[in-house]
Amino acid sequence: MNNKYITNTVYNALTNKYLFARMFSMRYTKKQFEAEYPNDDACLEAVFQDRYGNLKVCPSCGVIDAKFYRVKKRQCYACEYCSYQLFPLANTIFRKTTTPLTDWFYAVYLFSTHKNGISAKTLERELGVTYKTAWRMCKHIGLLMQQENEQLIGEVEADETYIGGRHRGKRTGPADKEPVFGIVERNGRVMAKHVKSTGARVLIPLIEANVSPDNAIMTDQYGSYKSLVRRGYNHTTVNHSTLEYVRGNAHTNTIEGFWSQLKRSIDGTYHAVSPKYLQSYVDEFVFRYNFRGVAVGPLLLEKVSKVVL
Ligand SMILES: [Zn+2]
Protein backbone atom coordinates (compact mmCIF):
# COMPACT_ATOMS: atom_id res chain seq x y z
CA MET A 1 0.00 0.00 0.00
CA ASN A 2 1.37 3.38 -1.05
CA ASN A 3 2.03 5.71 1.89
CA LYS A 4 0.24 8.49 0.13
CA TYR A 5 -3.07 6.77 0.74
CA ILE A 6 -2.75 7.87 4.36
CA THR A 7 -5.42 10.53 4.21
CA ASN A 8 -7.30 11.89 7.20
CA THR A 9 -9.99 9.30 6.64
CA VAL A 10 -7.56 6.43 6.40
CA TYR A 11 -5.77 7.73 9.46
CA ASN A 12 -9.05 7.54 11.35
CA ALA A 13 -9.56 4.05 9.96
CA LEU A 14 -6.11 3.05 11.20
CA THR A 15 -7.23 3.80 14.71
CA ASN A 16 -10.22 1.52 14.18
CA LYS A 17 -8.68 -1.91 13.58
CA TYR A 18 -11.96 -3.51 12.61
CA LEU A 19 -12.70 -0.96 9.90
CA PHE A 20 -9.09 -1.05 8.71
CA ALA A 21 -9.13 -4.82 8.25
CA ARG A 22 -12.40 -4.68 6.37
CA MET A 23 -11.28 -1.89 4.03
CA PHE A 24 -7.94 -3.37 3.16
CA SER A 25 -9.28 -6.85 2.58
CA MET A 26 -10.10 -5.22 -0.82
CA ARG A 27 -13.42 -7.00 -1.11
CA TYR A 28 -16.67 -6.37 0.66
CA THR A 29 -19.20 -8.82 -0.66
CA LYS A 30 -22.98 -8.62 -0.61
CA LYS A 31 -22.96 -11.67 1.64
CA GLN A 32 -20.72 -9.92 4.19
CA PHE A 33 -22.88 -6.81 3.98
CA GLU A 34 -26.13 -8.73 4.53
CA ALA A 35 -24.67 -10.64 7.47
CA GLU A 36 -23.65 -7.39 9.16
CA TYR A 37 -26.81 -5.41 8.53
CA PRO A 38 -29.69 -7.91 8.45
CA ASN A 39 -32.36 -5.53 9.80
CA ASP A 40 -33.05 -1.95 10.94
CA ASP A 41 -32.03 -2.70 14.54
CA ALA A 42 -28.59 -3.86 13.39
CA CYS A 43 -28.19 -0.71 11.25
CA LEU A 44 -29.19 1.56 14.14
CA GLU A 45 -26.86 -0.30 16.51
CA ALA A 46 -23.99 0.19 14.04
CA VAL A 47 -24.54 3.96 13.87
CA PHE A 48 -24.90 4.06 17.67
CA GLN A 49 -21.64 2.17 18.19
CA ASP A 50 -19.75 4.31 15.64
CA ARG A 51 -21.05 7.50 17.19
CA TYR A 52 -21.28 6.75 20.92
CA GLY A 53 -19.39 3.47 21.33
CA ASN A 54 -16.51 5.26 23.08
CA LEU A 55 -18.70 7.33 25.39
CA LYS A 56 -17.19 6.98 28.85
CA VAL A 57 -19.51 9.21 30.83
CA CYS A 58 -23.25 9.82 30.59
CA PRO A 59 -23.55 13.44 29.35
CA SER A 60 -26.51 14.03 31.67
CA CYS A 61 -25.91 12.31 35.04
CA GLY A 62 -22.14 12.01 34.69
CA VAL A 63 -22.02 8.36 35.78
CA ILE A 64 -18.85 6.72 34.52
CA ASP A 65 -19.29 3.66 32.29
CA ALA A 66 -23.08 4.02 32.31
CA LYS A 67 -24.70 1.55 29.93
CA PHE A 68 -27.16 2.77 27.33
CA TYR A 69 -29.98 0.44 26.41
CA ARG A 70 -32.12 0.49 23.29
CA VAL A 71 -35.53 2.10 23.80
CA LYS A 72 -38.16 -0.15 22.25
CA LYS A 73 -39.91 1.12 19.14
CA ARG A 74 -37.90 4.35 19.16
CA GLN A 75 -34.69 5.13 17.32
CA CYS A 76 -32.84 5.96 20.52
CA TYR A 77 -30.88 4.63 23.46
CA ALA A 78 -31.27 5.61 27.13
CA CYS A 79 -28.91 5.82 30.11
CA GLU A 80 -29.52 3.01 32.61
CA TYR A 81 -29.32 5.48 35.51
CA CYS A 82 -31.02 8.70 34.44
CA SER A 83 -32.83 7.62 31.24
CA TYR A 84 -31.12 10.39 29.27
CA GLN A 85 -31.71 9.62 25.60
CA LEU A 86 -29.19 9.54 22.76
CA PHE A 87 -30.46 9.64 19.17
CA PRO A 88 -27.74 8.17 16.95
CA LEU A 89 -29.43 9.33 13.73
CA ALA A 90 -29.74 12.98 14.80
CA ASN A 91 -27.95 15.30 12.35
CA THR A 92 -26.85 12.40 10.15
CA ILE A 93 -27.95 11.85 6.54
CA PHE A 94 -30.60 9.49 7.99
CA ARG A 95 -32.27 12.08 10.22
CA LYS A 96 -36.06 12.30 9.97
CA THR A 97 -36.15 9.61 7.32
CA THR A 98 -39.16 7.38 6.78
CA THR A 99 -37.18 5.06 4.53
CA PRO A 100 -36.07 1.87 6.34
CA LEU A 101 -32.43 1.96 7.45
CA THR A 102 -31.85 -1.33 5.62
CA ASP A 103 -32.73 0.46 2.35
CA TRP A 104 -30.36 3.32 3.18
CA PHE A 105 -27.55 0.96 4.07
CA TYR A 106 -28.12 -1.07 0.94
CA ALA A 107 -28.07 2.13 -1.13
CA VAL A 108 -24.72 3.08 0.44
CA TYR A 109 -23.49 -0.43 -0.32
CA LEU A 110 -24.55 -0.06 -3.97
CA PHE A 111 -22.63 3.23 -4.24
CA SER A 112 -19.55 1.47 -2.92
CA THR A 113 -19.70 -1.29 -5.51
CA HIS A 114 -20.45 0.78 -8.63
CA LYS A 115 -17.25 2.39 -9.82
CA ASN A 116 -19.01 5.16 -11.68
CA GLY A 117 -21.69 5.79 -9.10
CA ILE A 118 -25.36 5.04 -9.53
CA SER A 119 -28.21 7.17 -10.75
CA ALA A 120 -31.43 7.89 -8.88
CA LYS A 121 -33.22 5.88 -11.58
CA THR A 122 -31.17 2.77 -10.74
CA LEU A 123 -31.76 3.24 -7.03
CA GLU A 124 -35.50 3.66 -7.61
CA ARG A 125 -35.51 0.30 -9.42
CA GLU A 126 -33.24 -1.52 -6.95
CA LEU A 127 -35.09 -0.42 -3.80
CA GLY A 128 -38.62 -0.04 -5.11
CA VAL A 129 -38.84 3.52 -3.72
CA THR A 130 -40.19 6.58 -5.51
CA TYR A 131 -37.90 8.54 -7.80
CA LYS A 132 -38.10 11.52 -5.44
CA THR A 133 -36.91 9.39 -2.50
CA ALA A 134 -34.17 7.79 -4.58
CA TRP A 135 -32.96 11.20 -5.75
CA ARG A 136 -32.83 12.48 -2.17
CA MET A 137 -30.94 9.38 -1.06
CA CYS A 138 -28.35 9.85 -3.83
CA LYS A 139 -27.87 13.45 -2.81
CA HIS A 140 -27.37 12.53 0.86
CA ILE A 141 -25.08 9.58 0.18
CA GLY A 142 -23.01 11.95 -1.95
CA LEU A 143 -22.34 13.98 1.21
CA LEU A 144 -20.42 11.00 2.60
CA MET A 145 -17.96 11.46 -0.25
CA GLN A 146 -17.36 15.20 0.13
CA GLN A 147 -13.73 16.21 -0.10
CA GLU A 148 -11.87 16.82 3.12
CA ASN A 149 -9.20 19.48 3.32
CA GLU A 150 -5.95 17.61 3.06
CA GLN A 151 -2.39 18.73 2.49
CA LEU A 152 -0.98 17.34 -0.75
CA ILE A 153 2.71 16.50 -0.61
CA GLY A 154 5.70 15.60 -2.75
CA GLU A 155 5.66 16.42 -6.46
CA VAL A 156 2.27 17.82 -7.35
CA GLU A 157 0.71 18.92 -10.61
CA ALA A 158 -1.91 21.68 -10.79
CA ASP A 159 -4.14 22.36 -13.78
CA GLU A 160 -7.51 23.75 -14.79
CA THR A 161 -10.00 22.30 -17.21
CA TYR A 162 -13.49 22.94 -18.56
CA ILE A 163 -16.32 20.50 -18.16
CA GLY A 164 -19.73 20.24 -19.76
CA GLY A 165 -21.10 22.03 -22.78
CA ARG A 166 -22.74 18.96 -24.22
CA HIS A 167 -26.51 19.02 -24.35
CA ARG A 168 -28.56 16.28 -25.99
CA GLY A 169 -25.53 15.07 -27.91
CA LYS A 170 -24.67 18.46 -29.35
CA ARG A 171 -21.45 20.18 -28.51
CA THR A 172 -21.97 23.78 -27.59
CA GLY A 173 -19.58 26.66 -27.15
CA PRO A 174 -17.05 27.16 -24.33
CA ALA A 175 -19.44 29.63 -22.72
CA ASP A 176 -21.46 26.63 -21.53
CA LYS A 177 -18.47 24.94 -19.94
CA GLU A 178 -17.65 25.09 -16.26
CA PRO A 179 -14.09 25.58 -15.00
CA VAL A 180 -12.69 22.98 -12.62
CA PHE A 181 -9.33 23.31 -10.90
CA GLY A 182 -7.33 20.38 -9.57
CA ILE A 183 -4.09 19.42 -7.87
CA VAL A 184 -2.75 15.88 -7.90
CA GLU A 185 0.08 14.09 -6.14
CA ARG A 186 2.00 11.85 -8.48
CA ASN A 187 0.97 8.28 -7.52
CA GLY A 188 -1.23 9.71 -4.81
CA ARG A 189 -4.28 11.75 -4.03
CA VAL A 190 -6.12 14.47 -5.88
CA MET A 191 -8.25 17.48 -4.96
CA ALA A 192 -10.57 19.12 -7.47
CA LYS A 193 -12.91 22.03 -7.21
CA HIS A 194 -15.54 23.61 -9.42
CA VAL A 195 -14.42 27.27 -9.57
CA LYS A 196 -16.05 30.53 -10.62
CA SER A 197 -13.08 31.46 -12.76
CA THR A 198 -9.51 30.39 -13.42
CA GLY A 199 -8.03 33.73 -12.44
CA ALA A 200 -5.04 33.93 -10.10
CA ARG A 201 -7.25 35.36 -7.37
CA VAL A 202 -9.20 32.09 -7.33
CA LEU A 203 -6.48 29.53 -8.05
CA ILE A 204 -3.61 30.82 -5.87
CA PRO A 205 -5.57 30.65 -2.57
CA LEU A 206 -6.60 27.07 -3.45
CA ILE A 207 -2.98 26.10 -4.07
CA GLU A 208 -1.89 27.78 -0.84
CA ALA A 209 -4.61 25.98 1.12
CA ASN A 210 -3.69 22.53 -0.20
CA VAL A 211 0.06 22.57 -0.87
CA SER A 212 2.80 24.07 1.28
CA PRO A 213 5.67 25.87 -0.52
CA ASP A 214 8.24 23.17 0.30
CA ASN A 215 6.72 20.93 -2.38
CA ALA A 216 7.53 20.88 -6.09
CA ILE A 217 4.63 22.08 -8.20
CA MET A 218 4.26 21.63 -11.98
CA THR A 219 1.80 23.57 -14.12
CA ASP A 220 1.48 24.72 -17.69
CA GLN A 221 2.40 28.31 -18.56
CA TYR A 222 -1.04 29.71 -17.83
CA GLY A 223 -0.73 33.23 -16.41
CA SER A 224 -2.58 32.50 -13.16
CA TYR A 225 0.36 30.46 -11.89
CA LYS A 226 2.98 33.19 -12.46
CA SER A 227 3.29 34.29 -8.85
CA LEU A 228 4.07 30.83 -7.43
CA VAL A 229 7.84 31.30 -7.44
CA ARG A 230 7.50 34.65 -5.68
CA ARG A 231 5.35 32.90 -3.10
CA GLY A 232 8.14 30.46 -2.34
CA TYR A 233 7.06 27.45 -4.40
CA ASN A 234 9.49 25.28 -6.32
CA HIS A 235 7.49 25.90 -9.49
CA THR A 236 8.23 24.32 -12.87
CA THR A 237 6.22 25.05 -15.99
CA VAL A 238 5.58 22.95 -19.04
CA ASN A 239 5.18 24.73 -22.36
CA HIS A 240 2.44 22.89 -24.22
CA SER A 241 2.47 25.22 -27.21
CA THR A 242 5.92 24.06 -28.31
CA LEU A 243 5.05 20.36 -27.89
CA GLU A 244 7.33 20.29 -24.88
CA TYR A 245 5.16 17.91 -22.94
CA VAL A 246 7.83 16.14 -20.97
CA ARG A 247 11.05 17.84 -19.94
CA GLY A 248 12.74 15.62 -17.41
CA ASN A 249 10.37 15.47 -14.51
CA ALA A 250 8.34 18.45 -15.62
CA HIS A 251 5.02 17.26 -16.94
CA THR A 252 1.37 17.48 -16.07
CA ASN A 253 0.41 14.06 -17.40
CA THR A 254 -1.05 12.87 -14.10
CA ILE A 255 -3.62 15.65 -13.75
CA GLU A 256 -4.43 15.51 -17.47
CA GLY A 257 -5.05 11.77 -17.09
CA PHE A 258 -7.34 12.51 -14.17
CA TRP A 259 -9.31 15.08 -16.22
CA SER A 260 -9.85 12.66 -19.06
CA GLN A 261 -11.08 9.95 -16.66
CA LEU A 262 -13.44 12.45 -15.04
CA LYS A 263 -14.83 13.58 -18.40
CA ARG A 264 -15.26 10.02 -19.64
CA SER A 265 -17.12 9.15 -16.47
CA ILE A 266 -19.47 12.13 -16.77
CA ASP A 267 -20.16 11.31 -20.42
CA GLY A 268 -20.67 7.62 -19.64
CA THR A 269 -22.83 7.81 -16.52
CA TYR A 270 -24.60 11.12 -16.56
CA HIS A 271 -24.16 12.47 -20.14
CA ALA A 272 -24.23 15.95 -18.66
CA VAL A 273 -23.99 17.42 -15.19
CA SER A 274 -25.65 20.72 -14.40
CA PRO A 275 -23.37 23.36 -12.86
CA LYS A 276 -25.39 23.11 -9.64
CA TYR A 277 -24.40 19.48 -9.09
CA LEU A 278 -20.96 19.52 -10.69
CA GLN A 279 -19.10 19.83 -7.36
CA SER A 280 -20.89 16.87 -5.79
CA TYR A 281 -20.11 14.81 -8.88
CA VAL A 282 -16.46 15.89 -8.74
CA ASP A 283 -16.37 15.05 -5.00
CA GLU A 284 -17.63 11.54 -5.65
CA PHE A 285 -15.14 11.01 -8.44
CA VAL A 286 -12.26 12.32 -6.32
CA PHE A 287 -13.33 10.03 -3.47
CA ARG A 288 -13.22 6.97 -5.72
CA TYR A 289 -9.86 8.05 -7.16
CA ASN A 290 -8.32 8.61 -3.73
CA PHE A 291 -9.56 5.27 -2.44
CA ARG A 292 -8.81 3.24 -5.55
CA GLY A 293 -7.80 -0.28 -4.61
CA VAL A 294 -9.59 -0.45 -1.28
CA ALA A 295 -13.11 -1.60 -0.41
CA VAL A 296 -14.98 1.64 0.27
CA GLY A 297 -18.23 0.02 1.50
CA PRO A 298 -17.21 -0.29 5.17
CA LEU A 299 -15.63 3.17 5.02
CA LEU A 300 -18.79 4.84 3.68
CA LEU A 301 -21.00 3.04 6.20
CA GLU A 302 -18.74 4.16 9.02
CA LYS A 303 -18.77 7.74 7.71
CA VAL A 304 -22.54 7.92 8.22
CA SER A 305 -21.94 8.64 11.90
CA LYS A 306 -19.22 11.24 11.19
CA VAL A 307 -20.92 13.43 8.58
CA VAL A 308 -23.02 15.93 10.48
CA LEU A 309 -25.60 17.92 8.56
ZN1 LIG B 1 -27.26 9.14 32.80
Residues 235-256 have pLDDT tens digits of 999 877 665 556 667 889 999 9
Query: From start to end of 43-189, where are the E strands?
Result: 68-70, 77-79, 85-86, 155-164, 166-167, 170-171, 177-185
Q: What is the pLDDT of residues 72-98, one digit of tens each?
A: 999 999 999 999 999 999 999 999 899
CA dihedral 253, 256, 258, 261 (to 10 degrees): -120
Give residue limits of the domains in the chain.
98-143, 155-290
pTM: 0.84
Phi–psi pair at 283, nearest 5 degrees: -55, -45
* 194 pLDDT more than 70: yes
Cα separation, 143 vs 280, whole angstroms: 8
For residue 64, how far is its CA from the centre of ligand 1 (angstroms)?
A: 9
The C-alpha angle 231, 232, 233, rounded to 5 degrees, equals 100
Top-confidence residue, 204 or 177: 204
CA of 59 to the centre of ligand 1 (A): 7
Ligand 1 centroid distance, CA of 89 (Å):
19
Asked whether the beta carbons of 179 and 203 are under 8 A apart, the reply is: no
Rounded distance between C-alpha atoms, residue 110 and residue 104, angstroms: 10
51 C-alpha to ligand 1 centroid (Å): 17
Q: Which residues surround ligand 1, an ion (CB under 5 A)?
A: 58, 60-61, 79, 81-82, 84
Q: What pLDDT is attached to residue 71?
A: 97
Question: Looking at residue 157, what is its pLDDT?
Answer: 96
Interacting residues of 12 by C-beta distance below 8 A, sequence separation 6+: 306
Q: What is the 177 CA–ligand 1 centroid distance (Å)?
A: 56
pLDDT at 4: 43
Residue-level pLDDT at 282: 94
Mean pLDDT of the 56-61 span? 94
Cα torsion 250, 255, 259, 264 to 10°: value is 100
The rounded Å distance from CA 101 to ligand 1 centre is 27
For residues 240 and 170, the model is more confident at 240
Q: Cα(52)–Cα(70) distance, rounded to whole angstroms?
A: 13
Distance 100 CA to ligand 1 centre (A): 29
Residue from 193, 234, 230 nearest 212 by CA: 234
Class (C level, CATH) for 155-290:
alpha beta
CA–centroid distance, 86 to ligand 1, in Å, is 10
Average pLDDT on 179-196 reads 94
CA of 94 to the centre of ligand 1 (A): 25
CA of 68 from ligand 1 middle (Å) equals 8
